[in-house]
Structure 1
């Protein structure tokens, strides 16, 4: 059965391929916008606060862009903006996207035989009513030992250089070494489905 025509338009404020894939899997059609903010300028010691502050900053930047464009004024359909952010926490330290191949290599080697956690935030904005809400979701990943040749293949391929903590559990090279996952893979990938669905409903009904 085809999903009913949505009474609102969704804008995904992200350039992440994984987030696009997850939102599409949830059955939504959406437009894409990226925030282009300086993430390093936003700092806080608590990872939960950081991911929520970064998602809010992304949303604010996109709202500003929309206010300067005529497209938004022409829209009859109310729009819901989804912004998100993810960090990896390893040994009490917050990890964002690696700054170099060497850092990515070290990150992955650290996970070998150990565990890490991810925190993913979701920030929704109803662009018609002004309603906003943010929350975050946590997942924990326990790893088997990861062989050095697998680490090198991941670095050579390069995808790990573009994600928080150089952590991609769904990657065919990494998946065999995931010992246990407490939480959901979509949360690790950057857009927790259950939380996104919950916040979307609240935004639509605001």
Structure 2
């Protein structure tokens, strides 16, 4: 019998994207303090290595979900974490509309970089696999009224790095991209599929 997936995430976007891959999943919130996760004792998150930090947070989420499992629960636990960087500095979610506007204007000059870590754990066999996907996106210049309308839709304010690539309004302003669209959305489907195949064996 195929194992169902437990998605350890509070992100409705990730749940929606996973539903495009499988209907056999449930969502549980890992409920961890991401700000408390450090890599090699580096307290300044903005200067941490994004690959190592996203992996550390995704692992912490996986550990938290595994503690929630019922005894003998059979599942594939999937957790992810995403960070955006600009000029080598990590950016979380914008704290205001003004900050988000400023960031988006910067991404029209130089690309924003995305890093998403994925951790998958098989509760039956104990098999574990993890990986990181990266990408970058440059935006065309947007008229001020278009940027204002984008901010009014609110979703961009909930995204790490204060950018979005999936909504219809932004499509004609997408310029040069490296990596997949899904990686830029914080849900690297190809990597997830590879890791799921590894732990199912």
- Whole-angstrom CA distance in 1 between matches of 2:195 and 2:134: 16
SS at match of 1:73: coil
1:7 corresponding residue in structure 2: 2
Distance 1:43-1:154 versus aligned 2 partners, 3 A rule: farther
2:13 corresponding residue in structure 1: 18
Q: Is the 8 A contact 1:124 1:199 kept in 2?
A: yes
1:98 corresponding residue in structure 2: 94
SS at match of 1:197: helix
1:152 shift after superposition = 1.6
How many residue pairs get matched? 193
- Whole-angstrom CA distance in 2 between matches of 1:50 and 1:149: 36
- Whole-angstrom CA distance in 1 between matches of 2:97 and 2:123: 39
2:181 corresponding residue in structure 1: 185
Q: Is the 8 A contact 1:113 1:146 kept in 2?
A: no
- Structure 1: stretches of 5+ with no match in the other structure: 1-5, 67-71
- Listed as ranges, the matches of 1:39-188 within 5 Å are 39-44=34-39, 45-66=48-69, 72-73=70-71, 75=73, 78-188=74-184
Deviation per residue, 1:21-49 (Å, 9 max, x gap): 22121234200001111111123411111
SS at match of 2:126: coil
Q: Is the 8 A contact 1:119 1:136 kept in 2?
A: yes
- Whole-angstrom CA distance in 1 between matches of 2:57 and 2:116: 10
Scaled by the length of structure 2, the TM-score of the pair is 0.89
- Structure 2: stretches of 5+ with no match in the other structure: 40-47
1:200 corresponding residue in structure 2: 196
2:43 corresponding residue in structure 1: none
Deviation per residue, 1:117-154 (Å, 9 max, x gap): 11111100111222222210011112211222222222
